[in-house]
Structure 1
């Protein structure tokens, strides 16, 4: 067993605990105990995203539907976008992940069982019987001083030379890159990304890295659009001032875009995308919506014969996301706009809910 000699692990720690919808509390709880083959990690940063808001507000308020299942179990420590330093591990864990005490690490939020049909086919992100950091009692999340990586986790090393908030951005960036991978971009494609939040900005960067003909960003916020341009967008369109369908058709000699990647979660963005795509175009949906979406499905079939693709999590994209962050190519200081102490977790949730003052909010335990 290897232990960081410079770190005395206390018996208790601060943690945010989910006691139900809109009832998150900062508490003193026992430090988790590492089992055989597991890793004890001291958390350096944990991001807050829209999924955390869904858990916080609960199904009834977020969906307006009492029958929808809860997003997270109660009595769970939330937080699924995280990074930290290895404090303690045994030889089995060190060999399994090629890590050592002191390494900065991240873990994918899903913990697959590695035995279901999806895992056996390589689609571990769709595991039928998975755990999930910050959502399940078996895998407490990172809004705490310490956490444990279980034996079935997917663990990656990250440079210790970058700020912790940047390292924690590996999770949303990997999700964004998976959305781009689903789009199957070609060099001649005109790509439209709807929404310039953290996921959308990652999709813009990932799309640009594929060298398509044009990357177009859509949003209502000029500040976010300016950041989108720095992240790789060739053209930005403020949809409050311009008709995006007309503008995209103007840019494509009337044909429409080849690819539309939706990351806003707003119902109006669906019809917008279907209408600005050309025939035989590709629509990628990453968002989770707070209400049902109605569209004219004949656009998908009879009118245009579109490919409509979903995207979930960031399978097989974490190494690329980490390399992109470490490269310094992204304006990470501006993307990671707010870092708050764990004690300010409620302000962090409120900032994300507002969506007007921040891009990525990160808690620093």
Structure 2
């Protein structure tokens, strides 16, 4: 077993006990098995799904029998980056890393054995274990285990840790963009300029379509969207975005709509502003049920409606974009908190004023 010197015996970790009952506790530093790595956590992003989990959201990915996302005794946190500090030669070779390397791990820990994994669709794994939600403790701790089934990617140590951790939401956004199958002639509309929406704007702009249009109710976030590659920004509280986009497209409507808000009204908005034979990509996780006129999808427009989940096969691209230095990362990564301020971090994500974009926890702050 190779390891860095001075790994302590205990650590601070956020431990889930029940919905709205997360506690900062002093627990033992986990000891990696022969096929595992030990990671010193450098940063972990706080996702909207973390907030929904905290408040006791029902429905768990791939398991309709579970009534809560909270798993008592598990540490949350899946947007993670950290330094490899211990692991056997076998485990290090398996992940292609050395002691001291910085890695980000994909949020899912696929089983490798179900039909989805066998067919290469690992991000839709049947058991669907994920860091911080089911069997694997996540990164809201000073140290964590990286199991052999995890998918790890090296990240430059020159990046601030909370910037490096943005590789998780950005990979998700890039997957949504990949699902849209953009062409050079496409007018692409992205609804919502939070972390996922900004990532979709970044990904879409890198595909160089005809035009990328960003929608949000917050003018500051629209200004940030422009810095991330949006050619045009529209505030639905100030203009009729459906009429505006149809006017820009000769009355036809947009070619592609990527929904990143999680608000039911954004779904009908997208259906209405798309042209016939347009493509609708849904990334959000919704709190409430969505009701729309389904005939728009079929009889009226014959739309392609596509879902997107996680960030499969997009991690190297996401990491490369962040490492390239082209993104306004200081403006994207707006808030950082220590482990002791996990409640403040969650509250900041849930603040409806829109003051934050990407919120992170950085152990040691």
Query: TM-score with structure 1 length normalisation?
Result: 0.96
1:29 aligns with 2:30: no
- State the match for 1:354 in structure 2: 351
Q: Output the CA distance in 1 between the equivalents of 2:58 and 2:79.
A: 25
- Pairwise CA distance, 1:30: 1.1
With over 3 angstroms needed to count, the CA separation of the structure-2 counterparts of 1:115 and 1:216, relative to structure 1, is: same
Which 10-residue stretch deviates more, 275-284 or 24-33? 24-33
- State the match for 1:46 in structure 2: 44
**Residues 59 and 68 in structure 1, CA contact (< 8 A), matched pair in contact too:** no
For 1:122, which of 120, 128, 143 is the aligned residue? 120
Alignment of 1:304-343 (within 5 A): 304-343=301-340
1:95 aligns with 2:87: no
Q: Output the CA distance in 2 between the equivalents of 1:78 and 1:308.
A: 32
**Residues 217 and 237 in structure 1, CA contact (< 8 A), matched pair in contact too:** yes
Q: Output the CA distance in 2 between the equivalents of 1:208 and 1:60.
A: 35
**Residues 78 and 107 in structure 2, CA contact (< 8 A), matched pair in contact too:** yes
Q: Output the CA distance in 1 between the equivalents of 2:35 and 2:22.
A: 31
- State the match for 1:161 in structure 2: 158
- Pairwise CA distance, 1:330: 0.8
Alignment of 1:79-228 (within 5 A): 79-136=77-134, 138-228=135-225
- Pairwise CA distance, 1:59: 2.6
- Pairwise CA distance, 1:268: 0.1
Partner SS state of residue 320, structure 2: helix
1:2 aligns with 2:2: yes
Which 10-residue stretch deviates more, 353-362 or 173-182? 353-362
Runs (5+) with no aligned partner, structure 2: 60-64
Partner SS state of residue 30, structure 2: coil
Q: Output the CA distance in 2 between the equivalents of 1:99 and 1:23.
A: 36
1:268-312 deviation per Cα after TM superposition (whole angstroms, max 9, x unaligned) = 000000000000000000001111100000000000000000000
Q: Output the CA distance in 2 between the equivalents of 1:158 and 1:93.
A: 18
1:272 aligns with 2:297: no
**Residues 222 and 234 in structure 2, CA contact (< 8 A), matched pair in contact too:** yes
Q: Output the CA distance in 2 between the equivalents of 1:93 and 1:332.
A: 32
- State the match for 2:57 in structure 1: 59
Q: Work out the number of aligned pairs and report it.
A: 359
For 1:16, which of 4, 14, 21 is the aligned residue? 14
Q: Output the CA distance in 2 between the equivalents of 1:264 and 1:170.
A: 19
- Pairwise CA distance, 1:80: 0.3
- State the match for 2:62 in structure 1: none
1:328-355 deviation per Cα after TM superposition (whole angstroms, max 9, x unaligned) = 1111111000111111110000000014
